[in-house]
Structure 1
């Protein structure tokens, strides 16, 4: 399965993790524990031109807060995962709140009014061997964001810790978003659009098709079918108990793990309509979601396992509207990556 050609991407950036853009977050999730014996100061790396500023928004720069993968829980630090090659990841659960406080302080100093939280605000272990409930952990995260308009993206840890899904949508305020695209019968869609100062922000749900639904839900059945096509033992979980790992999968097929998900056809159609509408208006668009959507930006450590299941179809849509889409920001892949395409070819933008 080939990666999309660079030449089709014109002037828009894909950031596979805010951890890369915010080295503070990268330190939180990767550095050794002694690096956190002092308070960390937020650092925000500027995007290369064009950043989120162009003539479509009056030439003025738009400042927003972006943060991802806090994984907060009231529990002791621990190694989360370590492979035979020696690469591991140390989780500093309680310190996440301190990092968030520092980020909020920097945002307030910059007069930021809107913050996008790109998923995994709380760790799946919150409420499981941790002090207090997952709901209490989420409330502590919200308290640190008081005074901002906060726009949440669903992450896999959020969906695992705060069930059922409708409960999470209420806690995160997603059901009250005015641009919510309510396209499913149960009213549990979590993709929506927000306009601010000449830019439309499209929030995508990386888990609209996933195993994070009840087993009786049609979206769960669709996810099971997608996984079964690539994991021959999926119908017999006793032979493949760890669906969170890629097992014997190779190449781009490694993305078919239960930690991932897909937008699904209805959400992709909605995305295409939103981009066509913005293109017709001459409106710039930034896209945010949890799971990365390009093989070119996932880290060496995470690789294809951190890709959206239907990333190829989503990239086709974004490429078609490459002069409308300014940037895509995602989380999930903690080491992170960054891709910027400044190709000025003359492909048509339909």
Structure 2
């Protein structure tokens, strides 16, 4: 008798750090890797085509840095954004865009909120008689959504507290708080340099960011509601929050605040997905049974390979089907 393979409850696509630009290939900030700016668009196209042909995913998590900051030097930011968004036109699935540091090198937060990269407003639920945590911050890019009964996805804004690019107005309290944090810990004139910083303190550079108290409280309250509903939760952001899942220079400033909250809800939190560290990484927090997955950056993938995946969600596991430099894995 034929045994039918168990089918997932639902599936989603995942990709990070496309960083497209109509630019010649060049070395990265540390001069250790080549960035293939034009090729990144072809790799994104290949990923989207893969998801369309599979015809089984419900949505895509685009984990941030979809265009590169160097676009600003050529005044080509809007054209580059148009080119990458065109790849998602007419797709039979939803796309959830997360904001990374390169979004803020190109655009202000107010610009992004009016663009197609702001997906928060499209996914807020209005179901009757269901408790809902409401964001207090007017320009918040964090939100949650439920793609399937019993499951909730939480999208974080890792640059809530930030000095990155033109994202925050320099007179805003968030910018001033970010500047205070950095100036106290990083004595370099160039705040993107970790020179002189040791160990985990190397995360205090300007291309990282932090999460404010209101967002942290929202995260805790949203997880509490999910627990009351009996939901399982997947959390995503651009920046890693576990030091064993990435190079420490790519870590969220107040990662421990986020980890403490996730660990308090380890009975329902399954995984945290992010990008930012182009090498990628993975850590299973066995004490809390939370998987921390850092996706490799598409922009540093040479022609002939790729770095994206499809995640199948079963009742007892997440199954990552990686393509190219993204490893496949079963996460129970």
TM-score range, shorter chain: 0.7 to 0.9
Q: 2:228 aligns with which of 267, 273, 280?
A: 280
Tell me if 1:248 matches 2:196. yes
**Offset of 1:168 from its aligned partner?**
1.2
What residue in structure 2 maps to residue 11 of structure 1? none
Give me the whole-angstrom Cα distance separating, in 2, the residues matched to 1:200 and 1:333: 25
What TM-score do you get using the length of structure 1 for normalisation?
A: 0.73
Give me the whole-angstrom Cα distance separating, in 1, the residues matched to 2:253 and 2:285: 23
**For the aligned residues, what is the CA RMSD?**
2.0
**Offset of 1:177 from its aligned partner?**
3.0
What residue in structure 1 maps to residue 144 of structure 2? 193
Moved over 4 A (4+): 342-345
Conservation of the 8 A alpha-carbon contact between 2:135 and 2:218: no
Q: Secondary structure at the match of 1:285?
A: strand
Give me the whole-angstrom Cα distance separating, in 2, the residues matched to 1:220 and 1:90: 31
What residue in structure 2 maps to residue 258 of structure 1? 206
Tell me if 1:326 matches 2:326. no
The Cα offsets for residues 33-70 of structure 1, whole Å up to 9 and x where unpaired, read as: xxxxxxxxxxxxxxxxxxxxxxxxx9843211111100
Give me the whole-angstrom Cα distance separating, in 1, the residues matched to 2:106 and 2:235: 25
**Offset of 1:115 from its aligned partner?**
1.0
Number of positions where the alignment pairs a residue of Structure 1 with one of Structure 2? 268
Give me the whole-angstrom Cα distance separating, in 1, the residues matched to 2:135 and 2:217: 13
Structure with the bigger percentage of strand? 2
What residue in structure 2 maps to residue 125 of structure 1? 70
1:100–1:265 Cα change, 3 Å: same
Q: 1:203 aligns with which of 136, 143, 155?
A: 155
Conservation of the 8 A alpha-carbon contact between 2:124 and 2:144: yes
Q: Secondary structure at the match of 2:190?
A: coil
Gaps of 5+ in 2: 1-5, 126-133, 290-332
Give me the whole-angstrom Cα distance separating, in 2, the residues matched to 1:218 and 1:158: 20
Give me the whole-angstrom Cα distance separating, in 2, the residues matched to 1:291 and 1:135: 24
Q: 2:240 aligns with which of 292, 295, 309?
A: 292
**Offset of 1:343 from its aligned partner?**
4.9
Tell me if 1:183 matches 2:131. no
What residue in structure 2 maps to residue 138 of structure 1? 81
Conservation of the 8 A alpha-carbon contact between 1:177 and 1:192: no
1:344–1:261 Cα change, 3 Å: closer
Give me the whole-angstrom Cα distance separating, in 2, the residues matched to 1:328 and 1:226: 25
What TM-score do you get using the length of structure 2 for normalisation?
A: 0.76
Tell me if 1:103 matches 2:56. no
The Cα offsets for residues 309-345 of structure 1, whole Å up to 9 and x where unpaired, read as: 1101110000010011111000000001101244589
What residue in structure 1 maps to residue 176 of structure 2? 221
Equivalence map 1:25-174=2 (5 Å)? 60-82=8-30, 88-111=32-55, 112-129=57-74, 133-146=76-89, 147=91, 148-162=93-107, 164-171=108-115, 172-174=117-119
What residue in structure 1 maps to residue 310 of structure 2? none
Give me the whole-angstrom Cα distance separating, in 2, the residues matched to 1:191 and 1:216: 22
**Offset of 1:224 from its aligned partner?**
1.1
**Offset of 1:229 from its aligned partner?**
2.0
